[in-house]
Amino acid sequence: MSDLRVIDTHTHFYDPKRPQGIPWPNKNDEFLYRTVLPDEYKAVTKPLGVHGTVVVEASKRFEDNLWVLELAKTEPFIIGFVGNLQLNSDDFDVHLDKLRIDPLFRGIRLGGIITKQLTKLEQARLEHLAYCDLALDILCGADVLSSVAEIAENIPNLRIIIDHLGTPSINGQSPDRIWTEAMQLLAQQANIYCKVSGLVESVADKTQPIPHEVEFYKPVLNLLWNKFGQDRLIYGSNWPVSARFAKYATVQKLVLDYFEPKGKDATDKVFRQNSKVAYKWIDRVK
């Protein structure tokens, strides 16, 4: 679709050459442990119709959040930033107040473990996140997804985005029962979105070449389409992590091959419009 303006809602930028180094990726990871900056990303994605990206911080170090926001000051391709703050840390409130001054800061991401048992303080902090009109990304597996549904029900004005499809194991067959039931439960909450990212990373058998045909992924995508519909699915690449298993063009084409037959309206929503609703990102690229 030549006129499609793509927003990629899941990328990572980092530089291990910074004086303080980086905690992620691990220096033993020969593929990822290198300087990864927007110029490389733009060279790969702009020819494919990508017009901006939401960066998701993987490091738990607060200073790394500030580094991305500083990077974004002179890089209009970064239209939003999802920070990494620890919900149970003593300085969560101070750090959130410092980050939310920047309009590019659009929310935080939490790992799944913290969502199993929220304290009253953590609940209040998520309520404050919603009050600030910020979003919550969740990276977790099916074992804790049910508790995410409880959070969504208890804080209905909090926009929640499930990263990487809820991390299913994709094998070309019907997805397992636990993941299926969890995603069906999440889809009942109108304030939960699902990020169509992590497809190639979720392939169960990585000893064989990663499938490049959308048919292999359809059992998972069909369930998400049937439950979340065209208004609550959002495209993300997870670059450069995804590049370990497939080129960016392949990752994007898999998602396009699934949604284009659904029509232009559905495709535009998944690749752009839904992310605007979920993240309220800033259009900086004309």
In sequence order, the 6+-apart residues with CB closer than 8 A to the CB of 104 are 69, 72, 78, 79, 80, 81, 282
Task: Please state, in angstroms and rounded to a whole number, the distance separating the CA atoms of residues 73 and 76.
Answer: 7
Distances (CA, A) of 236 to 5, 128, 149, 157, 193: 13, 26, 22, 23, 12
Fold of 6-278: TIM Barrel (3.20.20)
- Tell me which residue of 135, 54, 142, 46 sits closest to 96, measured CA to CA: 135
Residue 253 CB coordination number (10 Å): 16
142-160: average pLDDT: 92
Summarize the chain as % helix, strand, coil (round to 5).
Answer: 45, 15, 40
- Report, as an integer, the average pLDDT of 192-221: 96
The closest of 140, 186, 142, 165 to 235, measured between CA atoms, is 165
Q: What is the pLDDT of residues 155-173, one digit of tens each?
A: 999 999 999 999 999 999 9
- Kindly report the number of other CB atoms within 10 A of residue 226's CB atom: 10
pLDDT at residue 286 in the model: 60
Average pLDDT taken over every residue of the chain: 95
What is the predicted pLDDT for the residue at 143? 84
Where is 6: in which H helix or E strand? strand 6-11
Least confident of 29-43, 137-151, 162-176, 232-246: 137-151
Burial class (CB in 10 A: 0-12, 13-18, 19+), 39: exposed
> What gap in Å lies between CA 253 and CA 196, rounded to an integer?
12
* 1 pLDDT above the threshold of 60: no
Cα 73 from chain centroid (whole Å): 21
Of 76-85, 106-115, 171-180, 252-261, the one with minimum mean pLDDT is 106-115
First and final C-alpha spacing in the chain: 19
